[in-house]
Amino acid sequence: VVVQGLDPYETCSTTTLEDSRDERTHRLVQATKEALEEAVAVCQAGVKISEIGRTIQSVADRYDYRIVKDWNGHGIGREFECLPQVKHLRNDDTTVLQPDMMLTIEPILVEGHAAHVKWSNGHTVCSVDGGMAAQSGLSLLILDGGAEVVSR
H or E segment and range at residue 143: strand 138-143
Residue 8: its pLDDT value, please? 43
Residue 10: its pLDDT value, please? 47
Q: How far is CA 56 from the centre of its chain?
A: 8
Residue 11: its pLDDT value, please? 46
Residue 3: its pLDDT value, please? 41
Residue 1: its pLDDT value, please? 37
Angle at 48 between CA 42 and CA 51, to 5 degrees: 45
Which positions of the chain have pLDDT values less than 50? Answer: 1-11
Residue 5: its pLDDT value, please? 46
Cβ-count burial of 39 within 10 angstroms (0-12 exposed, 13-18 middle, 19+ buried)? buried
Residue 1 to residue 108: CA distance in whole angstroms: 12
Average pLDDT for the chain: 88
